[in-house]
Amino acid sequence: MVEIDIRLREQVRLLGELLGQTIADQHGAAFLDKIERIRKGAKAARGGSAEGARQLGDTLDTLAEDELLPVARAFSHFLNLANIAEEYHRVRRRTEDEPPPFEQQVLPELLERLAAAGHSGQELAERVAALDIDLVLTAHPTEVSRRTLIQKYDEISAQLAALDHRDLTSAEVAAIEARLRRLIAEAWHTEEIRRQRPTPVDEAKWGFAVIENSLWQAIPSLLRKLDDCLQERTGQRLPLTAAPVRFSSWMGGDRDGNPNVTAAISREVLLLARWMAADLYLRDVDRLAAELSMQAASPALREQAGDHPEPYRKVLKVLRERLQITRSWAAHAITDPHAGARHILSDNAELIAPLQLCYDSLQHCGLGVIADGSLLDTLRRARTFGLYLVRLDIRQDAARHAAALADICRYLDLGDYAAWSEAQRLEFLRGELGSRRPLLPLDAELEADTQEVLATCRVIAASPADALGSYVISMAGAASDVLAVQLLLRECGVRQPMRVVPLFETLDDLDQAGSAIASLLDLPDYRARLAGPQEVMIGYSDSAKDAGTLTAAWAQYRAQEALVDICASRGVELLLFHGRGGTVGRGGGPAHAAILSQPPGSVAGRFRTTEQGEMIRFKFGQPAIAEQNLALYLGAVLEATLLPPPAPEPAWREQMDRLARDSLQAYRGVVREDPHFVSYFRQATPEQELGRLPLGSRPAKRREGGVESLRAIPWIFAWTQTRLMLPAWLGWEKALDEAERRGESPLLREMREGWPFFQTRIDMLEMVLAKAEAELARLYDQRLVEADLQVLGSQLRERLRQAGVAVLRLTGQGELLEHHPETLVFIAVRNTYLDPLHLLQIELLARARAAGESQPAALDQALLVSVAGIAAGLRNTG
């Protein structure tokens, strides 16, 4: 069996010992001994020891009421500390004889392959410079770690880096370990779970903090290394105008099913982003003013600065003053819509011009070594983040727009918009969009929901175009959904072009996506209004919840193929927006592999995708890790553009049709058609209790009802907690089994070897199955589920077993992840700490349900901590 790297093992051991000392300080050595007995019992039980299992059960059963919370906290904290050590291990210092990590090699190796394939250095440099990757940061209703703790975790990681030097004196080591112990004690004595739900503004501030604390440093470092790589491999430089990666946000703009996101909230978030951007640039300019004390200057800079002994500082002083005015204005404008806006920076060119002037002057004077320092970094940030930090997307459900237009038509006696056919709606919308007169009188008396939709459109109209991204329409299904938004925007004064983006997110909608976009693009007046590419969003979460991951993945693939063909045939550029989640059940998985498995032609130098909640923290929360993940995006998009995967063979497509059909029947047969399923789901998982978690600002449900009313994130989260992982694999077991029964196993192996799409899906399925634990799921059932419903749980666990067997037959392995032994070791180590949390959670759920509304606060808190700990241990939630 592969061993964990000795350095990682030592760091995990150190952090665990320091946590133990902290626990003993508060609760005493006897309590720490009890924690250790639980850990050893769990480890022995994992190894098959009946005595270990008995010891574990006996120790947990004898916990006093006041011990439940500290035990849950102990194991939860250890799992978070293990995460910190693993994350640092990815970016640790390496010796000269150690191979660099894959993330550092991906771009140099790719450029060599592309050159070998016949691409010239000039072409490669131009392609890299033209890359347009837009990562859309979204809030997450199951982000369980408080920002206060995340900051402490980041500092712990920094101390691990400080400790990772061989020439430290014993006194230096002792000082670092003392600092680590203080940080762990601070974390231990800090509540893990926030007491109140965050507001949408809180979520937006959290997103801004990721930029401030990580991406602000990661972007210039990434681009500096990209420039060096291009020079070495192609002899070309990365142009200063290049911004291959940019960021957008849904935090404060996503109002789909979230009544807490209003027009006022979106306006506030837009202003806060401008405040934060001005503040960050002010820090940069202050540092530049301290550095650029030289006198040598170009004639152009002299003309701007006048006869000043320190011309660079003179030019930067003017920029600093305007940034200060902009920051002050943004702060006042939040509460005063009429705050004076004189002399504020409103165009990114006004920010870049003085910086570029200083840069060109230094180069002109032979001071390129200075120009290519902090000044170049600030220029790169200005190109990437601009004056608005992130571009805010607006998202709203198609039904809200239709209801608003129905209200307007009712008020104006124009007819019943809700009852009109698609053809009638299109005729009305096209006529109004082509009319020069306004549709709405200023004093129209409309319903409150309509007024809110219109107020959002007015916020868009009042905001600079560069501050905004796209207007995304959830549950879109027809061309009229897009024209409806265009009409509402026009009526509210929006004159700048804004991409209106239909989001296709159910199985039926994905199947109809191509025809819906074709009908749009065949409208001459719509084509005339189209500014830039036709953007279409593909929904992964809801389509997977609707049809299962196999059927949904194939529908998403086919929808993208259809959209590529339709846009190409009409000479329209297509931009696909991928609404991926963090987990396999929501279309997640390794971004690099996912991009390389897209249909050929669907990634043409442009890629837009959501980055959600805890995945933002895991992938971009620290500068070095963010840089690695951004490099993966750059490499994957460039490779998918210039070396696209092969189109699937006809036989593969036919096989996918059969697999999808069998999977859909199996998935819906359980989730939709089994009359006992909803009752079982709510008893076997903590789904009901998750509703009490003070997590995201958005409600867990769109409306009252069964599984169909649940949002995709808590649907996944609930199954993850019990380790059944049902949404990520249900349906695969039937599809693969039927294929084998038909004698199609050789074809499946051929598809896995030759088709990145199918290989990636099998790899992600295998990872999920390796994390699933049927025995733990059985224990949830045994304690929490009524006897007559437990048979369904047994059937589902048997299906889980079948899925694992089918994957092993397909991959030819003796055990899941046999070809990734390091991952298996990490999972095994985590299970030692996860098992007690699961068993504790089962007991806490039973006690909470028995107590009902009268359950003690400590019990409730312990339950929430167990949820957070399991999420941390599995490294994903929803």
Burial (CB < 10 A; 0-12, 13-18, 19+), residue 461, is: middle
Strands (E), 212-268: 245-249
Which residue of the set 34, 77, 89, 140 is catalytic?
140
Closest CA to 629 of 33, 133, 61: 133
Q: Containing H/E element for 660?
A: helix 650-671
Interatomic CA distance for residues 783 and 752, integer angstroms: 40
Torsion of CA 774, 778, 784, 787, to 10 degrees: 130
CA nearest to 769, candidates 710, 809, 714 = 809
Backbone dihedral region for residue 587 (phi beyond 0: left; psi -120 to 50: alpha; all else: beta): left
Query: DSSP code of 876?
Result: -
> Exposure of 227 by Cβ count < 10 A (0-12 exposed, 13-18 middle, 19+ buried)?
buried
Cα 504 to Cα 511: distance, rounded to the nearest angstrom: 9
DSSP 334-363: TT-TT---TT---SHHHHHHHHHHHHHHHH
Q: What is the DSSP letter of 756?
A: H
Cα angle 658, 664, 669; round to 5: 135
Q: Two tokens at 182? A: 């203080």
Do the Cβ atoms of 81 and 15 come closer than 8 Å? yes
> Tell me, what DSSP letter sits at residue 845?
H
Distance CA 217, CA 215 (A): 5
Q: Sort strands 391-397 and 499-504 into parallel, antiparallel or unpaired.
A: unpaired
For 742, which DSSP code? T
Q: Count CA atoms closer than 13 A to 430's CA, side-chain side.
A: 17
Spot the catalytic one: 89, 545, 578, 838. 545
Residue 801 burial (CB < 10 Å; 0-12/13-18/19+)?
Answer: middle
d(CA 594, CA 587) in angstroms, rounded, equals 9
Residue by residue, what is the 3-state secondary structure of 272-328?
A: HHHHHHHHHHHHHHHHHHHHCCCCCCCHHHHHHHCCCCCHHHHHHHHHHHHHHHHHH
What is the radius of gyration, based on Cα positions, of the chain? 28
Residue found under tokens 């592309």: 114
Q: Which residue has the tokens 């265009």?
A: 486
Q: Which amino acid is at 41?
A: G
Side-chain-side CA neighbours of 296 within 13 Å: the count stands at: 12
> Secondary structure of 163-223 in the HEC alphabet?
HCCCCCCHHHHHHHHHHHHHHHHHHHCCCCCCCCCCCHHHHHHHHHHHHHHHHHHHHHHHH
140 is catalytic: yes
Q: Is 426 left (phi over 0), alpha (psi -120 to 50) or beta?
A: alpha
DSSP collapsed to 3 states, 230-246: HHHHHCCCCCCCCCCEE
Consecutive H or E run containing 85: helix 68-91
Contact 856, 62 (CB under 8 A): no
Answer yes or no: are the C-beta atoms of 376 and 494 closer than 8 Å: no
> Residues in the chain, how many?
878
Structure-token match 């550092």, residue found: 104
Which of 644, 641, 635, 656 is CA-nearest to residue 752?
A: 656
Give the burial string for 534-550 (b: 16+ CB within 10 Å, else e). bbbbbbbbbbbbbbbbb
Which two structure tokens, joined as six digits, stand for 229?
Answer: 């790589």
Query: Which residues are marked as active site?
Result: 140, 545
